[in-house]
Amino acid sequence: MSGVGAVLAKAKSEGRAALVGYLPVGFPDVQGSIDAMVAMVQAGVDIVEVGVPYTDPLMDGPVIQHAADVALKGGARLKDVFAAVRAVADAGAPALVMTYWNPVLRYGVDQFADDLAQAGGAGLITPDLIPDEGVEWIAAAERNDLDRVFLVAPSSTPERLRSTTLACRGFVYAASTMGVTGARTTVGDAAEVLVTRTRLMTDTPICVGLGVSTGAQAGQVAAFADGVIVGSALVRCLTDAASREDGLAAIRKLSAELAAGVRAGR
Amino acid sequence: MTDQPSSTGGGARPGRFGSYGGRYVPEALVAALEQLDEARLKANIDPAFQGELERLHRTYTGRPSIITEVPKFAQHAGGARILLKREDLNHTGSHKLNNVLGQALLTKRMGKTRIIAETGAGQHGVASATAAALMGLECVVYMGTKDTQRQALNVARMRLLGAEVIPVSHGSATLKDAINEAMRDWVTNVDTTHYVIGTVTGPHPFPEMVRDFQRIIGVEARAQVLDLVGRLPDVVCACVGGGSNAMGIFHRFIDDESVRLIGLEAGGEGVDTDKHAARFSTGLPGVLHGAFTYVLQDEDGQTLESHSVSAGLDYPSVGPEHSFLRDTGRAEYRPITDTQAMDAFALLCKTEGIIPAIESAHALAGALEIGREIGPEGVILVNLSGRGDKDVDTAARWFGVLEDGLSPDGLHPDGLEQQ
């Protein structure tokens, strides 16, 4: 079983959902992002999504777009991602790299998989790579014993739910609403419907993302999902912070609130 | 070869042109792409759909567009005969309406009520706003703020036609960022909304579908040249931003092996500078906006900003079928600098009384260059993809033709920087 799989299984045995937190590398700067990822783990995040900043993040809302923009203007490079992965792994949590496809393609799919495994990474989440186009990546992941997390959406047909979940290892990423990343006031019924539909197709754990920002919402989602994914709300902690210390404190506070939420949901 | 569009792209897999193309999109969009693919394949063989599109082209677009021989312009090209395919005479002033009317009809067939579009020069945005007004669809157009400034006239046209224009200020604030924002809208509103992509790129089936809607340009032009000259042209040339006007005029000639197909990219301030959009000069295969194709990118796979005097060519990627035609050698691609394009723009104005779009002026500059290479016996067909009304402000600044008192302040002496 993969590192991600083991963490999800452990959470399940504790009668709770896992908490998955996203932060992009290089925001507010490379070291600042690594410190924030480690702080997140210390405060109760079970799995870290290490985000690769990209020039054309077409699945992301304004908060993550802004962070990626700052990271790239600040000189964040792809090699910094491996440093972040190493730091997260050393802090004791599995690190899944979340990346648009072109940076991996340019790096070389095999080389990226090798270097990710070397850095202690758990695998990849690929928001703009569907399994249909992912043959090369799936083979490279197989070879390096890496997880591959693909997305399912409310618009996915039963056939696509089946084929996509078959290609997943680690967990299935259920995008709860139609839209881009960003906090929402309600998570909505669509997420639960999607999880129910997806469970008919697979035994792989299902984590729900897009829109969760509070402990209460995390609790609602934890009632039906194996993991709760939080991104923009965590990034926001850093965006809104007056200082580096304030940012880390806000990250710790929100992570703890969300960690309590995923434990209160059942 | 018939005048019917082909349903495959020449690749082994559907939606692939050799290794190029594909569908690199969020899963949330896959169902909509499947629905679109099914609808357009049905429409391709549905006489009712084809009849309606043909009627609209005849009674609304103004098709067939004519060809015009330009002998005085051609004197500057070593005497080769130059024929212009006059897509500038279409309603709305460019080739864009060919595609938009087709996609608007498909939108209605799919039961959707809202279209969104991206635009660079504004030509595609204006065509989309026009089709939406004609067919009673809601229309939202995304446009980079750099482009809303340099193409202000087209912003006004879209708003007069009832469309909402949303300026996009992040990233490079040009066409690429307008596409990102349109994609975000689409993934959120896909139940009611069709994304009318304006060029031959994006995820499958867009590159193939848009080409098939634009293919009428080459179908008409081939017959017109045969009629006028008595033989096929030696060269067909067209400007290439995303590449829809070029695919439109090239496609019917692909099996005519004697005909050279030449695409002209924006060379900006020169391909040895970092201010150009010559993807085939310095780009590498990669993924942008849903397709695997040539992309201007750095060593981390980050998209590089492009530059061109023409908003419509200012795009760091290119349609995947062009990448295929380039790698197989069936088509050639050359960069044309801003200065070459503006010189050709001025020459056509003064010798023939036709004001071309600055995009199309890149194709004209290519024809001047190629004409001198092939000599006076040659025949060159140029796709004059759009008219230049929208570019009068840019050209007036470039050539300094306004009275001193009317010149805008802060003008770069030999450039167009307006920020």
| Complete domains list, chain A, with CATH | 3-264 (3.20.20.70)
- What pLDDT is stored for residue A235 in this prediction? 98
Domain locations in chain B as residue ranges: 24-60+95-210, 62-93+215-406
Q: What is the DSSP string of A16-30?
A: S-EEEEEEETTSS-H
Of B28, B179, B183, the CB nearest to A153: B28
DSSP B408: P
Bond prior to A103 in cis (omega within 30° of 0): no
Verify whether the Cβ–Cβ distance A55 to B25 is below 8 Å. Answer: no
Instruction: Count residue pairs from A and B with Cβ separation < 8 A.
Output: 111
What are the pLDDT digits (tens) for B76-86? Answer: 999 999 999 99
Of B170, B183, B297, the CB nearest to A102: B297
Note whether B296 and B304 are within 8 A (CB): yes
State how far residue A13 is from chain B, nearest Cα, in angstroms.
31
State how far residue A133 is from chain B, nearest Cα, in angstroms.
7
**Average pLDDT, integer, range B297-317:** 95
Verify whether the Cβ–Cβ distance B300 to A150 is below 8 Å. Answer: no
List CB contacts (< 8 A) between B22 and chain A.
Answer: 133
Verify whether the Cβ–Cβ distance B184 to A180 is below 8 Å. Answer: yes
**ipTM here:** 0.95
Note whether A155 and A178 are within 8 A (CB): yes
Query: Cα(B363)–Cα(B386) distance, rounded to whole angstroms?
Result: 11
What are the pLDDT digits (tens) for B216-230? Answer: 999 999 999 999 999
- What pLDDT is stored for residue B170 in this prediction? 84
- What pLDDT is stored for residue A266 in this prediction? 65
Q: Which of residues 91-150 of A touch B (CB under 8 A)?
A: 101-107, 127-130, 132-133, 150
What are the pLDDT digits (tens) for B123-137? Answer: 999 999 999 999 999
What are the pLDDT digits (tens) for A141-161? Answer: 999 999 999 999 999 999 999
- Poorest-pLDDT segment among A9-23, B180-194, B347-361, B394-408: B394-408
Q: What is the DSSP string of B233-279?
A: -SEEEEE-SS-HHHHHHHGGGTT-TTSEEEEEEEEET-TTSS--B-H
**Average pLDDT, integer, range B41-68:** 98
Note whether B26 and A128 are within 8 A (CB): yes
Q: What is the DSSP string of A38-68?
A: HHHHHTT-SEEEEEPP-S--TT--HHHHHHH
The confidence band for B3, taking pLDDT boundaries of 50, 70 and 90, is low
Which is catalytic among the residues B85, B87, B94, B118?
A: B118
- What pLDDT is stored for residue A12 in this prediction? 97
- What pLDDT is stored for residue B411 in this prediction? 44
**Average pLDDT, integer, range A158-185:** 91
What are the pLDDT digits (tens) for A123-135? Answer: 999 999 999 999 9
What are the pLDDT digits (tens) for B88-125? Answer: 999 999 999 999 999 999 999 999 999 999 998 899 99
- What pLDDT is stored for residue B417 in this prediction? 41
Q: What is the DSSP string of A91-154?
A: TTS-EEEE--HHHHHHH-HHHHHHHHHHTT--EEE-TT--GGG-HHHHHHHHHHT-EEE-EE-T
Burial of B227: CB neighbours in 10 Å, binned 0-12, 13-18, 19+? exposed
The confidence band for B406, taking pLDDT boundaries of 50, 70 and 90, is low
Active site residue A136: no
- What pLDDT is stored for residue B172 in this prediction? 82
Nearest CA in chain B to A72: B302
The confidence band for A178, taking pLDDT boundaries of 50, 70 and 90, is confident
List CB contacts (< 8 A) between B184 and chain A.
Answer: 58-59, 61, 179-180
- What pLDDT is stored for residue B409 in this prediction? 41
**Average pLDDT, integer, range B29-53:** 97
**Does the pLDDT of residue B354 top 50, yes or no?**
yes
The third-level CATH classification (topology) of the domain covering B62-93+215-406 is Rossmann fold (3.40.50)
What are the pLDDT digits (tens) for A70-98? Answer: 999 999 999 999 999 999 999 999 999 99
Helix (H) or strand (E) segment spanning residue B17: strand B16-17
- What pLDDT is stored for residue B384 in this prediction? 98
Q: What is the DSSP string of A151-170?
A: EE-TT--HHHHHHHHHH-BS
CB of A57 within 8 Å of a chain B CB? The answer is yes
**Does the pLDDT of residue A265 top 80, yes or no?**
no
What predicted TM-score, i.e. pTM, was given to this entire model? 0.95
Active site residue B317: no
Domain B24-60+95-210 belongs in CATH node 3.40.250.10 = no
**Does the pLDDT of residue B215 top 60, yes or no?**
yes
The confidence band for A177, taking pLDDT boundaries of 50, 70 and 90, is confident
Q: Is the dihedral of CA B58, B62, B63, B66 positive or negative?
A: positive
Closest CA to B363 of B237, B225, B276, B217: B237
- What pLDDT is stored for residue B410 in this prediction? 41
Note whether B89 and B97 are within 8 A (CB): no
